[in-house]
Structure 1
């Protein structure tokens, strides 16, 4: 009896320690994706500012920036893949009120999730350490609707990043043999609050550099072409600028899809409630039939669905 009681006490103590630690770890690692957008915006702004200078200062930060900017594609690959996957799921998944983890058809292997998380964490950590927000904000002011759509889309991408990459890694480390588990309300609230706080604190201004740099280069080219035909090649909108612009508006599209599907889901709930109120007798008669049908097959031992 003492051994049984001790084992139960040990399990309860483990739950008291593991659950909060798992919640904090999952939330912090999930913030790597919004921080990746912050890093990309700072790199885009710094690249544009350095291109305006004929001879950029040879400081440690500028040397680190040039090495990091051209030798680290992990951020672009991870953010682009997760964003495209989120958009495809948003366009193809049916509107249901079931577990959101069931709507994700593909989960990478835990080893691949570990590698992706490690590369992104190292890249974001080193990148944010070597860049600064002072003087690197370049972008035109977006309207409130555009910002809200980006926030909603960023939250969706962050949720998928958490479900596909972060949670399998955390669960395989803390809970042996269990890769998937149900997402709790506390976890979703923590992710939403952390994403909204980070967006309000940093992202709402700096992330607009993803599209602001491309627009600034385009405006500068249009203003210089009529007066001087020898425009610096670095002022052209390059591949990196196009990818940044594409990522920003993909996230905006994801937010738009999420809002439209949310409105449709809310409308379906209202129609279902109205239909059940208009025909309550039909619903009352349908329930006993299905119960009797299932009870008959349970008694016979049949396992048909």
Structure 2
């Protein structure tokens, strides 16, 4: 009895420690996706300023900056683009009345692929933010608070998919020590609140101002090309390139995801109100729907009682 009681106490202690650890780890790793947008905006602004001044970065960080300028964004652009496109497709194709968000995701990568993706993004973001600076950001035309709020909803939706597809399978496979696809857990209210609060804090602290450099650089380059005279001495770096177009595309894709989420939320709230009004006006329809379920359940219980006898 003592050994059984000790094993039970140990399992309860592990669960008591594992739940907060899982919550904190999942929340911190989920913030890698919005931090990726922050890093891409800083790299875009830094490369534009260096090309505008026609001077390389400081010598002490030139080696690291050159590595991240040519290598690091390729990884981040690939991961962020795939997650953003997948989020937009799911937002446009899934139903509004779905209750379990995990069932809306038809494709989960293998746990090894999730491990590799999470490792690459974590290393890229962690080292990249150390060699970049928020000074001298190119914001272009300032957006109003409404457009920034729509972007927040979009980045939160993308972060949720990043958490469900990449972060949670990795964390669950580590703590459960099994196949994360078979032992996939349902999200709790505490996890959703923690993700929303962390994303909102990061957005208010850094993202709402710095992430606009994704479109600000392209707008600044276009304005300079209109102002500067057309001759052969114009720096080639001032032209709007592929990276600037990708940044612009990513920014407005997140805005589109935010608009889709707002519209679906309003439609879902309207459907709930409409259902409540219909049920109040004609309760007989609700009774006719509930009655067959109750009869079948009672028959099922009687059958179970007969089998038990």
- Range of TM-score over shorter length: over 0.9
Q: Unaligned stretches of 5+ in structure 2?
A: 305-309
Alignment correspondent of 2:191: 187
Alignment correspondent of 1:114: 115
Moved more, 184-193 or 281-290: 281-290
Alignment correspondent of 2:14: 14
Moved more, 94-103 or 148-157: 94-103
State the number of aligned residues: 300
Residue 261 (structure 2) pairs with residue 258 (structure 1): yes
SS in 2 for 1:242: helix
Question: 2:33 touches 2:159 (CA, 8 Å); kept in 1?
Answer: yes
Alignment correspondent of 1:146: 147
> Counterparts in 2 of 1:163-178, with a 5 A limit?
163-177=164-178
Residue 250 (structure 2) pairs with residue 247 (structure 1): yes
SS in 1 for 2:109: coil
| CA-CA distance at 1:294 after TM superposition | 4.9
Relative distance call for 1:293 and 1:239 in structure 2 (3 A) is same
SS in 2 for 1:204: helix
RMSD: 1.6
Q: What is the TM-score with the length of structure 1 in the denominator? A: 0.94
SS in 1 for 2:227: helix
| CA-CA distance at 1:96 after TM superposition | 1.6
Deviations 1:23-46 (A, max 9, x none): 000000000001000000000000
| CA-CA distance at 1:135 after TM superposition | 2.1
Alignment correspondent of 2:227: 223
Question: 2:138 touches 2:220 (CA, 8 Å); kept in 1?
Answer: no
Alignment correspondent of 1:31: 31
Question: 1:22 touches 1:170 (CA, 8 Å); kept in 2?
Answer: yes
Question: 1:61 touches 1:131 (CA, 8 Å); kept in 2?
Answer: no
Alignment correspondent of 2:203: 199
Alignment correspondent of 2:160: 159
| CA-CA distance at 1:55 after TM superposition | 3.1
Separation in structure 1 between the aligned mates of residue 113 and residue 57 of structure 2, nearest angstrom: 39
> Counterparts in 2 of 1:56-135, with a 5 A limit?
56-72=56-72, 73-135=74-136
